[in-house]
Amino acid sequence: MGRSKKSFKRRITNYQIRMQQLKFKNMTLERINNLFYIGLLVSFLIFLLPSEYKMAVYTPNLLGWSMLVLSLISFSIYFWLLIIDFKKKNYKRLQKRTLFLVIIIGVSVAYWFYQAYSLGNV
C-alpha cells in the first residue's frame, strides 16, 4: 500500500509539472502574439508619419529602418504563429490575427494612394 501512495503522489507531481509546462508554453505564445500586434501597430503608426521624418538623403533614417525591421519581424511572426495555429487547430485566433493584418495592410495602401493623389503623383 505504501508504494501505491508514492506512485500516486509521483503521478500527481508529474501531472502538475506538465500543466505548468503547458501554461508556460501558452504564456509564451501569448507574449509572441502580443509582440506581433504591437510590432505591426507601431510599424503602421510610423508609416503614417510624413516621409520627411523617415528618409535621410539616399536611404531610410533610423525611424525608416525601424519601420522596415518591425514590419519584417511582424510578418515572420505572423507566418510562424500561422503554422502553430494550424497545428493546434486554433482557427479563431488565426482569423483575428489575419483580419488585423488585412485591415492594417488595407488602410496602409489606401493611405498610400491618398498621399500619392494629394501630392499629384497619380
Per-residue pLDDT tens digits for 78-99? 999 899 888 888 889 889 999 9
Per-residue pLDDT tens digits for 34-49? 898 999 999 999 888 8
Whole-angstrom distance, CA of residue 12 vs CA of residue 18: 10
Task: State residue 109's pLDDT score.
Answer: 92
What are the domain boundaries of the chain?
A: 2-118
pTM higher than the cut 0.85: no
Per-residue pLDDT tens digits for 1-17? 455 565 655 666 766 66
